[in-house]
Structure 1
Amino acid sequence: MLPEPHRLHRSADFSRTVRRGRRMGRQDLVVHAFTRDDLSCVFSIGESRFGLIVSKAVGPAVTRHRVARRLRHICSELLPDVPETADIVIRALPGAAALSSRDLHRQVRSGLKKLGFIDTAPSKDALS
Structure 2
Amino acid sequence: MTWSRHRLHTGDEFRAVTRGGVRSARSHVVVHLTLLTQGGEAPRVGFVVSKKIGNAVVRNRVTRRLREIIRPRLATMPPGSALVLRALPGIDEQPFAALRADVDTGLETAERKLARRTEGAR
- Please indicate the TM-score interval, normalised by the length of the shorter structure: 0.7 to 0.9
- SS state of the match for residue 77, structure 1? helix
- AA matched with 2:62: V
Structure 1: distance between partners of 2:22 and 2:107: 10
1:108 aligns with 2:108: no
CA RMSD of aligned residues (A): 1.6
Q: Deviations over 1:83-104 (max 9, x none)?
A: 1121000000011110122111
Runs (5+) with no aligned partner, structure 2: 113-122
Residue 29 of structure 1 is matched in structure 2 by 29
Q: Deviations over 1:31-73 (max 9, x none)?
A: 00011247xxxxx440101000000111111111100011111
Residue 62 of structure 2 is matched in structure 1 by 67
Structure 1: distance between partners of 2:50 and 2:108: 24
- SS state of the match for residue 50, structure 1? strand
Q: Figure out how many residues of one structure are paired with residues of the other and give that number.
A: 112
Shift of 1:7: 0.8
Query: Which portions of structure 1, spanning 4 or more consecutive aligned residues, are displaced by more than 4 angstroms?
Result: none
Structure 1: distance between partners of 2:61 and 2:22: 26
- AA matched with 1:58: I
- SS state of the match for residue 85, structure 2? strand
Q: TM-score, normalised by structure 2?
A: 0.85
Report sequence identity in percent: 37
- After TM superposition, the structure 1 = structure 2 runs for residues 1-128 of structure 1, keeping only pairs within 5 Å, are 3-37=3-37, 44-116=39-111
Runs (5+) with no aligned partner, structure 1: 39-43, 118-128
